[in-house]
Amino acid sequence: MFTTLLYVLTHGSHASNLNQYERYASLSNFDGSRFYAAASNCDYDTLWTWANRCCAQATNDALFSNASNSLPHWPRPEIYTESACAYRWEVPSGTGIKPDLVIYQENCSKNYSKSLGGSSFHIIARGDFLGQCEIRDLFDNSYHVFCHVSSEKCFNVSITLDFEHFDAYAELGALFGRQYNPLRLKLADILVCRESGRSAKLNKIWRKDYQTSLYAWNSSAPLIESKKKWCFEDRRVIFIGESHMRYNWDLIVSNLPTENNILKTLSRHHGDATVAGGNFSFKEAIYARGFVDPFINLCNQSLVDPRPYTVVFQPGSWDSTMWPPQQFISNPHGGALTLLHTIQEFATTKCDVHIRLVWVQQVPYPEENCVGLCSTTRLARNNFAISAMNEFLHRELLKIGYPDLRIVRAYDIIMPRNGEFICNNHFLCHPDNSLSVWQTPAGYAVAREIAHEIC
Protein backbone atom coordinates (compact mmCIF):
# COMPACT_ATOMS: atom_id res chain seq x y z
CA MET A 1 0.00 0.00 0.00
CA PHE A 2 1.34 3.42 -0.94
CA THR A 3 0.85 6.35 1.37
CA THR A 4 -0.22 9.83 0.44
CA LEU A 5 2.80 12.14 0.58
CA LEU A 6 2.10 15.83 1.03
CA TYR A 7 4.69 18.48 0.43
CA VAL A 8 3.21 20.51 3.26
CA LEU A 9 3.74 24.19 3.86
CA THR A 10 2.16 25.91 6.82
CA HIS A 11 0.23 28.36 4.64
CA GLY A 12 -1.62 25.50 2.99
CA SER A 13 -2.96 24.02 6.21
CA HIS A 14 -5.76 26.59 6.47
CA ALA A 15 -8.04 27.13 3.47
CA SER A 16 -8.36 30.87 4.11
CA ASN A 17 -9.19 31.96 0.56
CA LEU A 18 -11.53 29.02 0.03
CA ASN A 19 -13.33 30.03 3.24
CA GLN A 20 -13.73 33.54 1.87
CA TYR A 21 -15.02 32.25 -1.45
CA GLU A 22 -17.54 29.97 0.27
CA ARG A 23 -18.74 32.85 2.46
CA TYR A 24 -19.14 34.96 -0.68
CA ALA A 25 -21.11 32.16 -2.36
CA SER A 26 -23.40 31.92 0.66
CA LEU A 27 -24.08 35.68 0.52
CA SER A 28 -24.80 35.69 -3.21
CA ASN A 29 -27.86 34.09 -4.81
CA PHE A 30 -26.30 34.36 -8.24
CA ASP A 31 -26.54 31.04 -10.09
CA GLY A 32 -24.84 30.82 -13.45
CA SER A 33 -25.33 27.07 -13.79
CA ARG A 34 -27.55 27.23 -16.90
CA PHE A 35 -25.11 29.54 -18.63
CA TYR A 36 -22.13 27.43 -17.58
CA ALA A 37 -23.85 24.30 -18.86
CA ALA A 38 -24.36 25.90 -22.28
CA ALA A 39 -20.87 27.35 -22.38
CA SER A 40 -19.37 23.97 -21.55
CA ASN A 41 -20.30 22.88 -25.07
CA CYS A 42 -18.28 25.66 -26.66
CA ASP A 43 -15.07 25.17 -28.55
CA TYR A 44 -12.84 26.45 -25.76
CA ASP A 45 -9.71 26.70 -27.84
CA THR A 46 -11.18 29.41 -30.09
CA LEU A 47 -12.86 31.44 -27.33
CA TRP A 48 -10.65 34.08 -25.79
CA THR A 49 -13.00 36.51 -24.07
CA TRP A 50 -16.37 36.40 -22.42
CA ALA A 51 -17.81 38.58 -25.20
CA ASN A 52 -17.06 35.82 -27.73
CA ARG A 53 -18.68 32.96 -25.82
CA CYS A 54 -21.04 30.68 -27.70
CA CYS A 55 -24.09 32.31 -26.09
CA ALA A 56 -25.62 35.21 -27.99
CA GLN A 57 -24.82 38.72 -26.80
CA ALA A 58 -28.44 39.14 -25.71
CA THR A 59 -28.04 36.12 -23.45
CA ASN A 60 -24.82 37.56 -22.10
CA ASP A 61 -26.54 40.85 -21.35
CA ALA A 62 -29.42 39.07 -19.64
CA LEU A 63 -27.03 37.08 -17.47
CA PHE A 64 -25.10 40.22 -16.61
CA SER A 65 -28.33 41.93 -15.57
CA ASN A 66 -29.35 38.89 -13.51
CA ALA A 67 -25.98 38.84 -11.77
CA SER A 68 -26.18 42.56 -11.05
CA ASN A 69 -29.53 42.09 -9.33
CA SER A 70 -28.49 38.94 -7.45
CA LEU A 71 -25.39 40.02 -5.60
CA PRO A 72 -26.13 41.69 -2.27
CA HIS A 73 -23.38 44.27 -2.36
CA TRP A 74 -23.76 45.91 -5.76
CA PRO A 75 -23.69 48.35 -7.57
CA ARG A 76 -19.93 48.71 -7.90
CA PRO A 77 -17.68 50.79 -10.11
CA GLU A 78 -16.17 48.81 -12.97
CA ILE A 79 -12.69 49.94 -11.92
CA TYR A 80 -11.93 51.41 -8.53
CA THR A 81 -8.66 52.95 -7.46
CA GLU A 82 -9.05 53.67 -3.75
CA SER A 83 -10.26 51.70 -0.78
CA ALA A 84 -13.82 52.01 0.46
CA CYS A 85 -12.86 51.20 4.06
CA ALA A 86 -10.25 52.31 6.56
CA TYR A 87 -7.80 49.83 8.12
CA ARG A 88 -5.73 49.69 11.27
CA TRP A 89 -3.65 46.93 12.79
CA GLU A 90 -2.09 45.90 16.06
CA VAL A 91 0.25 43.26 17.45
CA PRO A 92 -1.57 41.17 20.09
CA SER A 93 0.00 41.10 23.51
CA GLY A 94 0.71 38.04 25.61
CA THR A 95 2.46 34.73 25.11
CA GLY A 96 1.37 31.49 23.49
CA ILE A 97 0.02 30.89 20.01
CA LYS A 98 -1.47 34.17 18.84
CA PRO A 99 -1.66 35.90 15.46
CA ASP A 100 1.30 38.08 14.59
CA LEU A 101 -1.07 40.85 13.57
CA VAL A 102 -4.76 41.64 13.77
CA ILE A 103 -6.14 43.90 11.02
CA TYR A 104 -9.38 45.79 11.59
CA GLN A 105 -11.63 47.05 8.77
CA GLU A 106 -13.61 50.17 9.67
CA ASN A 107 -15.76 53.04 8.39
CA CYS A 108 -16.74 51.44 5.08
CA SER A 109 -18.72 53.52 2.59
CA LYS A 110 -22.40 52.72 2.08
CA ASN A 111 -22.11 50.32 -0.86
CA TYR A 112 -19.53 48.26 1.03
CA SER A 113 -21.29 47.92 4.38
CA LYS A 114 -23.87 45.20 3.75
CA SER A 115 -21.71 42.29 4.90
CA LEU A 116 -18.67 41.91 7.13
CA GLY A 117 -15.17 40.96 6.04
CA GLY A 118 -14.22 40.00 2.50
CA SER A 119 -11.07 42.08 2.06
CA SER A 120 -8.10 40.41 0.36
CA PHE A 121 -4.58 41.30 1.49
CA HIS A 122 -1.19 40.35 0.10
CA ILE A 123 1.09 40.19 3.14
CA ILE A 124 4.76 39.23 2.84
CA ALA A 125 7.09 38.76 5.82
CA ARG A 126 10.88 38.83 5.81
CA GLY A 127 12.89 37.36 8.65
CA ASP A 128 15.07 34.26 8.82
CA PHE A 129 12.78 33.10 6.02
CA LEU A 130 10.74 34.79 3.30
CA GLY A 131 7.08 33.86 3.07
CA GLN A 132 3.51 34.87 2.42
CA CYS A 133 1.54 35.30 5.63
CA GLU A 134 -1.62 33.33 6.25
CA ILE A 135 -4.70 35.54 6.68
CA ARG A 136 -7.84 34.28 8.40
CA ASP A 137 -10.96 36.35 7.76
CA LEU A 138 -13.15 36.12 10.88
CA PHE A 139 -16.06 37.71 8.95
CA ASP A 140 -16.53 40.34 11.65
CA ASN A 141 -14.34 42.98 9.96
CA SER A 142 -11.21 41.61 11.58
CA TYR A 143 -8.42 39.48 10.13
CA HIS A 144 -5.84 37.35 11.94
CA VAL A 145 -2.41 37.26 10.32
CA PHE A 146 0.12 34.45 10.91
CA CYS A 147 3.53 34.80 9.28
CA HIS A 148 5.63 31.80 10.44
CA VAL A 149 8.87 33.20 8.99
CA SER A 150 11.19 33.99 11.87
CA SER A 151 12.56 32.43 15.03
CA GLU A 152 13.69 35.91 16.01
CA LYS A 153 11.60 38.32 18.01
CA CYS A 154 11.19 40.88 15.22
CA PHE A 155 10.68 40.69 11.44
CA ASN A 156 9.49 42.96 8.62
CA VAL A 157 5.97 42.82 7.18
CA SER A 158 4.49 44.53 4.11
CA ILE A 159 0.69 44.78 3.83
CA THR A 160 -1.00 45.41 0.47
CA LEU A 161 -4.76 45.63 -0.02
CA ASP A 162 -5.93 44.13 -3.33
CA PHE A 163 -9.72 43.68 -3.07
CA GLU A 164 -12.57 44.55 -0.73
CA HIS A 165 -15.99 43.12 0.01
CA PHE A 166 -15.41 39.73 -1.69
CA ASP A 167 -14.66 41.30 -5.09
CA ALA A 168 -11.83 38.80 -5.63
CA TYR A 169 -14.47 36.10 -6.14
CA ALA A 170 -17.37 38.05 -7.68
CA GLU A 171 -18.80 36.86 -10.99
CA LEU A 172 -19.46 40.41 -12.10
CA GLY A 173 -15.79 41.17 -11.76
CA ALA A 174 -15.01 38.55 -14.38
CA LEU A 175 -18.03 38.24 -16.65
CA PHE A 176 -17.74 39.56 -20.18
CA GLY A 177 -14.51 41.47 -19.68
CA ARG A 178 -15.91 43.57 -16.80
CA GLN A 179 -12.93 42.58 -14.70
CA TYR A 180 -11.40 44.11 -11.65
CA ASN A 181 -7.72 44.74 -11.43
CA PRO A 182 -6.41 44.58 -7.87
CA LEU A 183 -6.01 47.82 -5.97
CA ARG A 184 -2.36 47.14 -5.04
CA LEU A 185 -2.81 49.71 -2.26
CA LYS A 186 0.21 49.61 0.05
CA LEU A 187 -1.11 49.95 3.59
CA ALA A 188 2.07 49.48 5.59
CA ASP A 189 5.69 48.39 5.80
CA ILE A 190 6.21 47.69 9.46
CA LEU A 191 8.46 45.92 11.93
CA VAL A 192 6.50 43.29 13.89
CA CYS A 193 7.93 42.21 17.24
CA ARG A 194 6.52 39.27 19.14
CA GLU A 195 6.57 39.18 22.91
CA SER A 196 9.02 36.77 24.51
CA GLY A 197 7.83 33.20 24.66
CA ARG A 198 5.51 33.49 21.66
CA SER A 199 5.31 30.21 19.76
CA ALA A 200 6.47 30.42 16.16
CA LYS A 201 5.98 27.47 13.81
CA LEU A 202 8.34 28.20 10.92
CA ASN A 203 7.48 28.03 7.25
CA LYS A 204 10.98 27.29 5.99
CA ILE A 205 10.70 27.62 2.23
CA TRP A 206 12.96 30.60 1.37
CA ARG A 207 15.94 30.80 3.76
CA LYS A 208 17.96 34.00 4.14
CA ASP A 209 21.65 33.86 3.27
CA TYR A 210 23.13 36.44 5.62
CA GLN A 211 26.29 36.77 3.54
CA THR A 212 24.41 37.92 0.45
CA SER A 213 21.13 39.05 2.13
CA LEU A 214 19.30 37.01 -0.54
CA TYR A 215 16.76 34.27 0.00
CA ALA A 216 17.52 30.78 -1.33
CA TRP A 217 15.17 27.83 -1.80
CA ASN A 218 15.30 25.61 1.26
CA SER A 219 14.55 22.01 0.29
CA SER A 220 15.88 18.49 0.64
CA ALA A 221 15.11 17.81 -3.03
CA PRO A 222 18.31 17.51 -5.08
CA LEU A 223 19.15 20.05 -7.75
CA ILE A 224 17.80 18.95 -11.12
CA GLU A 225 21.30 19.14 -12.63
CA SER A 226 22.73 16.88 -9.91
CA LYS A 227 20.02 14.25 -9.96
CA LYS A 228 22.01 11.06 -10.46
CA LYS A 229 19.26 8.53 -11.02
CA TRP A 230 16.15 8.84 -13.12
CA CYS A 231 13.53 6.13 -13.26
CA PHE A 232 12.73 5.91 -16.96
CA GLU A 233 14.13 2.42 -17.32
CA ASP A 234 11.21 1.04 -15.32
CA ARG A 235 8.61 3.85 -15.40
CA ARG A 236 6.81 6.05 -17.91
CA VAL A 237 6.22 9.73 -17.14
CA ILE A 238 3.53 11.96 -18.63
CA PHE A 239 3.04 15.66 -17.90
CA ILE A 240 -0.45 17.10 -18.59
CA GLY A 241 -1.08 20.85 -18.74
CA GLU A 242 -0.42 24.06 -20.63
CA SER A 243 2.52 26.45 -20.90
CA HIS A 244 3.43 26.57 -17.19
CA MET A 245 3.64 22.79 -17.09
CA ARG A 246 5.34 22.55 -20.48
CA TYR A 247 8.22 24.78 -19.32
CA ASN A 248 8.71 22.55 -16.27
CA TRP A 249 8.82 19.60 -18.65
CA ASP A 250 11.33 21.42 -20.89
CA LEU A 251 13.67 22.19 -18.00
CA ILE A 252 13.59 18.64 -16.63
CA VAL A 253 13.97 17.12 -20.12
CA SER A 254 17.06 19.23 -20.77
CA ASN A 255 18.73 17.57 -17.78
CA LEU A 256 18.07 13.98 -18.77
CA PRO A 257 21.38 12.20 -19.51
CA THR A 258 20.28 11.20 -23.01
CA GLU A 259 18.65 14.48 -24.02
CA ASN A 260 21.35 17.14 -23.61
CA ASN A 261 20.54 18.90 -26.92
CA ILE A 262 16.83 18.15 -27.15
CA LEU A 263 15.70 21.74 -26.44
CA LYS A 264 17.17 22.92 -29.75
CA THR A 265 14.56 20.85 -31.56
CA LEU A 266 11.60 22.06 -29.49
CA SER A 267 9.60 25.26 -29.94
CA ARG A 268 8.26 27.24 -26.99
CA HIS A 269 4.68 26.31 -27.88
CA HIS A 270 3.06 23.91 -25.49
CA GLY A 271 1.91 21.18 -27.83
CA ASP A 272 2.36 17.44 -27.33
CA ALA A 273 5.94 16.16 -27.22
CA THR A 274 7.76 12.92 -26.41
CA VAL A 275 11.44 12.17 -25.66
CA ALA A 276 13.58 9.49 -23.98
CA GLY A 277 12.41 6.74 -26.28
CA GLY A 278 8.76 7.48 -25.59
CA ASN A 279 9.18 7.25 -21.82
CA PHE A 280 8.88 10.97 -21.03
CA SER A 281 6.00 12.81 -22.68
CA PHE A 282 3.94 15.98 -22.50
CA LYS A 283 0.22 16.12 -23.29
CA GLU A 284 -1.38 19.50 -23.87
CA ALA A 285 -4.57 20.19 -21.90
CA ILE A 286 -5.73 23.79 -21.70
CA TYR A 287 -8.86 23.57 -19.55
CA ALA A 288 -9.53 21.24 -16.62
CA ARG A 289 -11.97 19.08 -18.54
CA GLY A 290 -9.24 18.51 -21.15
CA PHE A 291 -7.38 16.45 -18.55
CA VAL A 292 -10.09 13.81 -18.52
CA ASP A 293 -9.22 11.85 -21.68
CA PRO A 294 -5.53 11.37 -20.79
CA PHE A 295 -6.57 9.94 -17.42
CA ILE A 296 -9.13 7.62 -19.00
CA ASN A 297 -6.58 6.35 -21.52
CA LEU A 298 -3.96 5.43 -18.91
CA CYS A 299 -5.41 2.05 -18.02
CA ASN A 300 -5.92 1.20 -21.70
CA GLN A 301 -2.28 1.97 -22.44
CA SER A 302 -1.20 -0.35 -19.64
CA LEU A 303 -2.32 -3.28 -21.79
CA VAL A 304 0.45 -2.40 -24.23
CA ASP A 305 3.20 -1.56 -21.74
CA PRO A 306 2.97 -2.97 -18.18
CA ARG A 307 5.47 -0.55 -16.60
CA PRO A 308 4.16 1.87 -13.93
CA TYR A 309 3.29 5.48 -14.71
CA THR A 310 3.89 8.83 -13.08
CA VAL A 311 1.31 11.43 -14.13
CA VAL A 312 2.16 15.08 -13.37
CA PHE A 313 -0.84 17.37 -13.89
CA GLN A 314 -1.57 21.06 -13.33
CA PRO A 315 -5.07 22.32 -14.19
CA GLY A 316 -6.57 25.74 -13.62
CA SER A 317 -4.67 28.58 -15.30
CA TRP A 318 -6.92 28.92 -18.33
CA ASP A 319 -10.04 28.06 -16.33
CA SER A 320 -9.27 30.95 -13.99
CA THR A 321 -8.46 33.19 -16.95
CA MET A 322 -11.78 32.64 -18.71
CA TRP A 323 -14.14 31.95 -15.83
CA PRO A 324 -14.91 33.19 -12.33
CA PRO A 325 -14.28 30.70 -9.49
CA GLN A 326 -17.89 29.47 -9.39
CA GLN A 327 -17.52 27.81 -12.78
CA PHE A 328 -14.38 25.93 -11.77
CA ILE A 329 -15.60 24.87 -8.33
CA SER A 330 -19.35 24.35 -8.84
CA ASN A 331 -20.11 23.72 -12.53
CA PRO A 332 -20.91 19.99 -12.94
CA HIS A 333 -20.39 20.23 -16.72
CA GLY A 334 -16.75 21.30 -16.68
CA GLY A 335 -13.87 22.51 -14.58
CA ALA A 336 -12.77 20.82 -11.39
CA LEU A 337 -15.80 18.61 -10.74
CA THR A 338 -15.44 16.74 -14.03
CA LEU A 339 -11.75 16.16 -13.41
CA LEU A 340 -12.30 15.11 -9.79
CA HIS A 341 -15.03 12.67 -10.83
CA THR A 342 -12.64 11.13 -13.33
CA ILE A 343 -9.87 10.81 -10.73
CA GLN A 344 -12.37 9.27 -8.31
CA GLU A 345 -13.24 6.62 -10.90
CA PHE A 346 -9.59 6.27 -11.75
CA ALA A 347 -8.78 5.62 -8.06
CA THR A 348 -11.24 2.73 -7.90
CA THR A 349 -10.36 1.21 -11.29
CA LYS A 350 -8.17 -1.84 -11.09
CA CYS A 351 -5.49 -0.99 -13.64
CA ASP A 352 -2.85 -3.56 -14.43
CA VAL A 353 -0.11 -1.08 -13.48
CA HIS A 354 0.61 1.23 -10.59
CA ILE A 355 0.13 4.94 -11.36
CA ARG A 356 1.52 7.74 -9.21
CA LEU A 357 -0.26 11.10 -9.41
CA VAL A 358 1.68 14.34 -8.87
CA TRP A 359 -0.66 17.32 -8.63
CA VAL A 360 1.05 20.69 -9.15
CA GLN A 361 -0.86 23.69 -7.86
CA GLN A 362 -1.94 26.42 -10.26
CA VAL A 363 0.70 29.14 -10.13
CA PRO A 364 -0.08 32.72 -9.05
CA TYR A 365 -0.48 35.60 -11.46
CA PRO A 366 2.26 38.27 -11.40
CA GLU A 367 1.17 41.48 -9.72
CA GLU A 368 4.24 43.64 -9.16
CA ASN A 369 5.49 45.51 -12.23
CA CYS A 370 2.95 43.71 -14.40
CA VAL A 371 2.44 45.88 -17.49
CA GLY A 372 1.62 45.52 -21.17
CA LEU A 373 0.55 42.09 -22.35
CA CYS A 374 0.68 40.73 -18.82
CA SER A 375 -2.28 42.87 -17.75
CA THR A 376 -4.28 42.18 -20.91
CA THR A 377 -4.19 38.42 -20.31
CA ARG A 378 -5.52 38.64 -16.76
CA LEU A 379 -9.26 38.45 -17.54
CA ALA A 380 -10.77 36.64 -14.52
CA ARG A 381 -7.46 35.73 -12.90
CA ASN A 382 -6.49 37.09 -9.52
CA ASN A 383 -4.42 35.38 -6.86
CA PHE A 384 -7.14 35.04 -4.26
CA ALA A 385 -9.46 33.26 -6.68
CA ILE A 386 -6.51 31.11 -7.80
CA SER A 387 -5.69 30.24 -4.19
CA ALA A 388 -9.34 29.33 -3.48
CA MET A 389 -9.32 27.02 -6.52
CA ASN A 390 -6.09 25.40 -5.32
CA GLU A 391 -7.46 24.94 -1.81
CA PHE A 392 -10.65 23.40 -3.22
CA LEU A 393 -8.71 20.90 -5.34
CA HIS A 394 -6.44 20.08 -2.39
CA ARG A 395 -9.40 19.34 -0.13
CA GLU A 396 -11.26 17.26 -2.69
CA LEU A 397 -8.22 15.28 -3.82
CA LEU A 398 -7.53 14.27 -0.23
CA LYS A 399 -11.16 13.18 0.12
CA ILE A 400 -10.70 10.82 -2.82
CA GLY A 401 -7.86 9.16 -0.96
CA TYR A 402 -5.78 8.19 -3.95
CA PRO A 403 -3.12 5.81 -2.57
CA ASP A 404 -0.06 7.41 -4.22
CA LEU A 405 -0.70 11.13 -4.49
CA ARG A 406 2.12 13.69 -4.34
CA ILE A 407 1.47 17.42 -4.08
CA VAL A 408 3.80 20.19 -5.24
CA ARG A 409 2.62 23.48 -3.75
CA ALA A 410 3.70 25.68 -6.65
CA TYR A 411 1.48 28.60 -5.59
CA ASP A 412 3.01 28.74 -2.11
CA ILE A 413 6.54 28.42 -3.47
CA ILE A 414 6.15 31.23 -6.00
CA MET A 415 3.87 33.69 -4.21
CA PRO A 416 6.52 35.27 -1.94
CA ARG A 417 8.57 36.02 -5.11
CA ASN A 418 5.64 36.73 -7.41
CA GLY A 419 7.23 39.90 -8.76
CA GLU A 420 9.99 37.91 -10.47
CA PHE A 421 8.53 36.68 -13.76
CA ILE A 422 9.47 36.27 -17.42
CA CYS A 423 7.76 35.74 -20.80
CA ASN A 424 4.57 37.63 -20.00
CA ASN A 425 3.33 35.85 -16.85
CA HIS A 426 5.57 32.80 -16.46
CA PHE A 427 8.29 31.79 -14.03
CA LEU A 428 10.12 29.55 -16.50
CA CYS A 429 10.32 30.08 -20.26
CA HIS A 430 11.85 28.23 -23.19
CA PRO A 431 12.39 30.47 -26.24
CA ASP A 432 11.96 28.78 -29.61
CA ASN A 433 14.71 26.25 -30.37
CA SER A 434 16.94 27.58 -27.61
CA LEU A 435 19.36 25.34 -25.73
CA SER A 436 18.39 26.93 -22.41
CA VAL A 437 15.31 27.47 -20.31
CA TRP A 438 15.02 30.95 -18.82
CA GLN A 439 14.47 30.72 -15.08
CA THR A 440 13.36 32.66 -12.05
CA PRO A 441 14.40 31.34 -8.62
CA ALA A 442 10.83 30.34 -7.79
CA GLY A 443 10.21 28.75 -11.20
CA TYR A 444 13.31 26.61 -10.80
CA ALA A 445 12.26 25.65 -7.26
CA VAL A 446 8.93 24.32 -8.52
CA ALA A 447 10.60 22.27 -11.27
CA ARG A 448 13.05 20.92 -8.72
CA GLU A 449 10.21 19.66 -6.51
CA ILE A 450 8.43 18.11 -9.49
CA ALA A 451 11.60 16.27 -10.54
CA HIS A 452 11.97 14.99 -6.99
CA GLU A 453 8.43 13.57 -6.90
CA ILE A 454 8.48 11.85 -10.31
CA CYS A 455 10.32 8.70 -9.19
Same domain, 179 and 313: no
Same domain, 273 and 151: no
Supply the range of the domain harboring residue 298.
Answer: 224-454
Question: Do 362 and 386 form a contact (C-beta atoms < 8 A)?
Answer: yes
Same domain, 173 and 244: no
Check residue 13 and give its pLDDT: 38
Same domain, 171 and 294: no
Q: How far is CA 141 from the centre of its chain?
A: 26
Q: Which amino acid does the sequence have at 190?
A: I
Check residue 148 and give its pLDDT: 80
Asked whether residue 235 is assigned to any structural domain, the reply reads yes
Same domain, 269 and 123: no
- Domain-ending residue, one of 193, 214, 240: 193
Check residue 368 and give its pLDDT: 65
> Can you give the pLDDT of all 455 residues of the chain as single tens digits?
333 333 333 333 346 899 999 988 887 766 665 555 555 554 444 333 433 333 334 444 445 555 554 444 444 544 556 788 899 999 888 666 788 899 999 988 876 666 789 999 999 999 888 999 999 999 999 999 998 877 777 899 999 998 888 888 877 554 544 455 778 899 999 999 877 545 456 666 898 888 888 899 988 888 887 776 677 667 889 999 999 999 999 999 888 877 667 777 777 667 888 887 788 899 998 888 888 888 878 777 766 777 888 999 999 888 887 777 877 887 776 678 888 988 888 787 767 678 899 999 999 998 765 554 455 556 568 899 999 999 999 999 999 998 889 999 999 999 999 889 988 889 999 887 778 889 999 999 999 999 999 87
Asked whether residue 52 is assigned to any structural domain, the reply reads no
Same domain, 250 and 342: yes
Same domain, 431 and 380: yes
Give per-residue burial for 93-107: e unless 16+ CB within 10 Å, then b. Answer: eeeeebbbbbbebee
Same domain, 403 and 361: yes
Question: Which domain CATH number covers 109?
Answer: 2.60.40
Same domain, 442 and 321: yes
Asked whether residue 49 is assigned to any structural domain, the reply reads no
Same domain, 380 and 241: yes
- Domain-ending residue, one of 170, 193, 216: 193
Question: Which domain CATH number covers 276?
Answer: 3.40.50.1110
Asked whether residue 302 is assigned to any structural domain, the reply reads yes
Asked whether residue 289 is assigned to any structural domain, the reply reads yes
Same domain, 326 and 440: yes
Asked whether residue 64 is assigned to any structural domain, the reply reads no
Same domain, 295 and 176: no
Asked whether residue 115 is assigned to any structural domain, the reply reads yes
Asked whether residue 54 is assigned to any structural domain, the reply reads no
- Indicate the number of domains in the chain: 2
Question: Do 414 and 317 form a contact (C-beta atoms < 8 A)?
Answer: no
CA separation, residue 331 to residues 32, 167, 354 (Å): 9, 20, 31
Edge to edge, the sheet with strand 405-408 lists: 5-6, 405-408, 355-360, 309-313, 236-241, 280-284, 273-275
